[in-house]
Structure 1
Amino acid sequence: MTPSALTRAFRGVRWYLRELTDESAYERYVAHLREGHPEAEVPSRRAFERMRTDRREADPRQGFRCC
């Protein structure tokens, strides 16, 4: 395999894992805010994760399960 093919393979695996674990959710949210709501303040990563967790805990249909 050439170095460029290895790089592409690594990037593909990295993208897949980030999507699988929802690691890229914050980046998608920031892009959404900047595109659709440019006047809105962008929350910090920590505030975003707290907001997301609170939303999941408040609505069991959002996929939050303890057991």
Structure 2
Amino acid sequence: MRRGEAGVNPLAALGRGLRGLRWYVRALAGETRWDDYLAHCAEHGHQPVSRREFEQCRADARASSPQSRCC
């Protein structure tokens, strides 16, 4: 593979960019909260609930304390 002008492998740069984009989209969608929850449970020795229960709890919390919205 040819190197760019700065000596950077274009495929490696593309891979880094795609990983960054994946991280950003996951953060916007709230996916990282599940990862944070699993890390918290592992750190404190708790048994995590299922992904479905976790998402239901998040949905219930959003419904019970609505923040100001346009609609």
TM over 0.5: yes
TM-score by length of 2: 0.74
The structure with the largest alpha-carbon Rg is: 2
Q: CA deviation at 1:42?
A: 0.6
* Cα RMSD for the two superposed structures: 2.0
> Percent identity, aligned pairs only?
44
Tell me, in whole angstroms, the C-alpha distance in 2 between the residues paired with 1:7 and 1:41: 35
Residue 61 of structure 2, aligned match among 55, 60, 63: 55
Q: Which has the higher contact order (CA 8 A, sep 6+)?
A: 1
Runs (4 or more) in structure 1 with deviation over 4 Å come to: none
Q: CA deviation at 1:30?
A: 0.8
TM-score by length of 1: 0.78
Tell me the amino acid that sits aligned with residue 22 of structure 2: R
The number of equivalent residue pairs is 63
Tell me, in whole angstroms, the C-alpha distance in 2 between the residues paired with 1:10 and 1:66: 33
Give the equivalent residue in structure 2 for 1:6. 14
Structure 2 unaligned blocks of 5 or more: 1-8
Q: CA deviation at 1:10?
A: 0.3
Q: Is the Cα–Cα contact under 8 Å of residues 33 and 42 in structure 1 kept in the other structure? A: yes
Structure 1 unaligned blocks of 5 or more: none
Give the equivalent residue in structure 2 for 1:46. 52
